[in-house]
Chains A and B, each alone.
Chain A
Amino acid sequence: MHFRDTIAGAAMVVLSLVLFIGTWDFSDVSGYMSPRIFPRLVAVVLFGFSAVLLVRAVPALVRQGAARVGIDWRALVVRYRMLAVLVAISFAYIYAMETVGYVIATILYIAVTVVMYGEKRRPVAAAIGIVGGVALYGLFRLVFDVPLPRFDLF
């Protein structure tokens, strides 16, 4: 956890600096309350607490022996492979929906994710995908009148 906290703390310190430096671009036009004040306040608070996290995590990391805390990339890939695939499929789903329409994209998306969550029988996964996709389309398109994208041949 100390290694993760160090990374998180460092990332948040960088973010706070980006927030602070970004305020230089804001024009100081408003009389009593400059648009820079609040973002700078937020940046300072974020920097302060992130620094506390770093100050706590780094010495503990050093005590552990920094050399032994190297990242095992192979283990990391194995552990997060499924999640990476799911996120990638979700991105693809969002972009495919505009092209192939909501129903087809959703049927495929649900069927694939059903398999990822442990369903081994492919026909069952396909059936769940079809039922889910059509039901959601019917509910949101017909009942809630949401203009979900349709498959357009032309």
Chain B
Amino acid sequence: MDASILDGFATVLQPLHFLLLVISVFAGIVIGALPGLSGSTGIVLLLPFVIGMDSSMALNMMCGVFCGSMYGGSVSAILICTPGTPSAAATLLDGYPMAQRGEAGRALGISTIASSAGGLISCLCLIFLAPQLARVGLLFGPVEYFALMVFGLTIIASVAGKSMVKGAIAGAFGLGISLIGIDPLSGNSRYTADIPSLMVGFNLLPILIGLFAISQVFVQLEAENLSAKPVLQHLSRLLPKLKELPGLIKVIVPSSLIGVAIGVIPGTGGAIASFLAYNEAKRFARHPERFGQGEPEGIAAPEAANNGTTGGALVPMLTLGIPGDVVTAVMLGALLLIGVRPGPLLFKESPEVINAVFAGMMVANFMMGVIGLSCLRVWPLVLKVPNSILYPSILALCFVGAYSLGNSAWHMLVALIFGVIGYVMRKNEFPAAPVILGVILGPLAEENLGRALISAHGEWSTLIHSPIAITFYVLAVISVAYSVWRRPGELNK
């Protein structure tokens, strides 16, 4: 193993670092298990705690929540037939029938092993792929970066949810928000309405808190069925039989690789990967007719695949600063807040952070398996937490988190306003992730466009002279075209 990655392990295995990583994995599993909360909400809730921390520790905690929440979604899918996260939707197809047969413990055990193995395989792919892509990224100048940002903005089409047009509007709304404040190139104040607090623009944290956490709490106020009913059975036989393992491994390895491949493609995510892996496992199964009736491979395939996307999604995010899915979009914003700017320069200037992340992801996925198996009897209790305690606590945590950013009530106010905006968006089926992409990528696109034009003495044709830039424009067109093709009739709806 590379000596530098061993350095990463030395960092991650320091007692405090390790403890915080374990806590974040546990918290991620709990958040993922609770229907209505997702990995993106988990990372937003984690932010107040990690601001001011050592960047590699903060990044690893986010990765811990990311991996944990991806697995946690399967707990509620198996126990209450409600996927905690969209990525676990395929797991319930066989997980819940197995639980209904009185084998909830076995279903959770298979899900835990597959998730942990999928995550570990995806880490190995991350360690191999990310440095190669980062090397290419070092060749980029402002022209290439502008083209990359254009490509990044087209991911909006992929994370748009039901309607691409609404996703695009949300993205443009995010770009509009990013314009507020002082223009970095000219020093002009824009859209500030002479309000001093707006001179520096909106900070990302209150926007994240409002759009992803507070709005979700508001939505839950309307939910009629507030408490989930977990499967009430004694969980026994948590580990699969030894003779079952070869069959499971045959499914876990290819499903994990499917997850990695899907995760690397920006704008995809765990939900697509898990259904694709489920489908492939069923296609190659000796008894495909048993799928949907509690087949172990039907649980292992989607779980290995959705955790396989975690390492894959981090590849474009860490190397190019382009998020792979909604959670990494939120993570990208969170990284900027803690002073880490993902991109090829991060690999060159802060290799110790990257190595710690690689090692941290490995440890997080391994510990996810350990925690998952040792706490299997705890998860049904997590699902019993009354919403009357859960959501008010989240709300209070959101506000204190927003306050802690600048020790000012202004950020709380901004979080509340974006909470209301997020609620209105959710009720009208406008996705929130494109807003974040717009807020993050907008200033970067403008800055690099400005630099490119200045270095080319105002010649706009410079934007299409670079082969790398042209490649990104082509990818942008393909990204939009693919999204339209994936949703036939979208433009005519």
Contact = CB atoms under 8 A, between A and B. Distances in A.
**What range describes how many residues of B lie at the interface?**
35 or more
A104 interface: no
Interface of B: 48-49, 52, 165-166, 168-169, 172-173, 175-176, 179, 183, 185-186, 188, 190-191, 218, 220-222, 226, 386-389, 391-393, 395-397, 399-400, 403-404, 407, 409, 412-413, 416, 419-420, 423, 427-430, 442, 445-446, 449-450, 453-454, 457-458, 493
19 contacts: A19-B179, A19-B191, A33-B454, A37-B449, A49-B165, A49-B172, A83-B423, A91-B416, A94-B409, A98-B409, A106-B396, A109-B395, A113-B391, A117-B226, A117-B387, A132-B396, A140-B400, A144-B404, A148-B400
A98 to B, nearest CB: 6
A38 B188 contact: no
Contact of A147 (B183, B389, B407): B407
Given A30-B186, A118-B388, A1 B429 contact: yes
A82 B222 CA distance: 8
Contact of B218 (A29, A46, A83): A83
B190 A35 contact: yes
B191 A114 contact: no
B409 A97 contact: yes
Contact of A95 (B399, B409, B419, B446): B409
Given A5-B428, A110-B396, A132-B396, A32 B454 contact: yes
Nearest to A106: B396
Given A42-B442, A45-B175, A87-B416, A148 B169 contact: no
A70 interface: no
A94 B419 CA distance: 14
A21 B77 CA distance: 50
Given A15-B173, A19-B179, 13 more contacts: A31-B454, A32-B458, A34-B186, A42-B176, A49-B169, A86-B218, A93-B399, A94-B409, A94-B416, A109-B396, A140-B404, A144-B404, A148-B403
B388 A46 contact: no
Contact of B420 (A43, A87, A110): A87
Contacts of B393: 110, 132
Nearest to B420: A87
A30 B52 CA distance: 36
A77 interface: no
Nearest to A60: B493
B120 to A, nearest CB: 33
B58 to A, nearest CB: 13
A46 B412 contact: no
A54 B413 CA distance: 31
Contacts of A90: 395, 399, 416, 419
Nearest to B163: A53
A135 B391 CA distance: 16
Contacts of B186: 26-27, 29-30, 33-35
B221 to A, nearest CB: 6
Contact of B450 (A8, A33, A125): A33
Nearest to B219: A83
B423 A110 contact: no
Contacts of A31: 454, 458
B388 A114 contact: yes
**Chain A facing B: main interface SS:** helix
A146 B218 CA distance: 26
B435 to A, nearest CB: 12
Contact of A35 (B52, B188, B388, B419): B188
A45 B416 CA distance: 27
Contacts of B396: 106, 109-110, 113, 132-133, 136
**What range describes how many residues of A lie at the interface?**
35 or more
Contacts of A35: 183, 185-186, 188, 190
The 4 closest A-B pairs by CB, nearest first: A33-B450, A113-B392, A46-B172, A30-B186
A53 B166 contact: yes
A38 B416 CA distance: 28
Nearest to A50: B169
Contacts of B397: 136
A60 B88 CA distance: 36
A79 B173 CA distance: 27
A146 B450 contact: no
A31 B450 CA distance: 10
A128 B404 CA distance: 22
B449 A45 contact: no
Given A118-B388, A148-B400, A8 B446 contact: no
A53 to B, nearest CB: 5
Interface in A70-110: 79, 82-83, 86-87, 90-91, 93-95, 97-98, 102, 106, 109-110
Nearest to A116: B221
A45 B186 CA distance: 23
B458 to A, nearest CB: 4
A114 B453 contact: no
